[in-house]
Amino acid sequence: MAILAERTSVSRMTLFKVEQGDPGVAFGTYATVLFVLGMLDRLSDVADPRYDTLGRELEDERLPQRIRLPKRTTPKKDAE
């Protein structure tokens, strides 16, 4: 743990917070830790909507429940 903290230039306490997923830690720190661990390709997963179940649920709530199509009006026939 001390070696990883040294390589990422953060304190051991900050590294512990990263391990716990603390939202107060700067995003750059998370990126640096992933880089040092050789897992930088995992960073793209953060913005991938496939892994954001809460975001998808919130988006589904914003969708209209039912869509009503306008009534079709039939043209009136001319009186002959």
Asked whether residue 55 is assigned to any structural domain, the reply reads: no
Q: Quick one: pLDDT at residue 78?
A: 65
**DSSP code per residue over 14-76:** HHHHHHHT-TTS-HHHHHHHHHHTT-GGGGGGGG-GGG-HHHHHHHHHHS-S--PPPPPPPPP
Confirm whether 13 is domain-assigned. yes
Q: Is residue 59 part of a domain?
A: no
Examine residue 69 and state whether it is found in any structural domain, yes or no.
no
Domain contains 77: no
Question: Which domain covers residue 29, as residue numbers?
Answer: 2-48
Average pLDDT, the chain: 85
Domain presence at residue 53? no
Q: Is 17 domain-assigned?
A: yes
Given this model, what pLDDT does residue 35 score? 92
Residues lower than pLDDT 50 in the chain: none
- pLDDT at position 49 is 81
Are 8 and 34 in contact by the 8 Å Cβ rule? The answer is: no
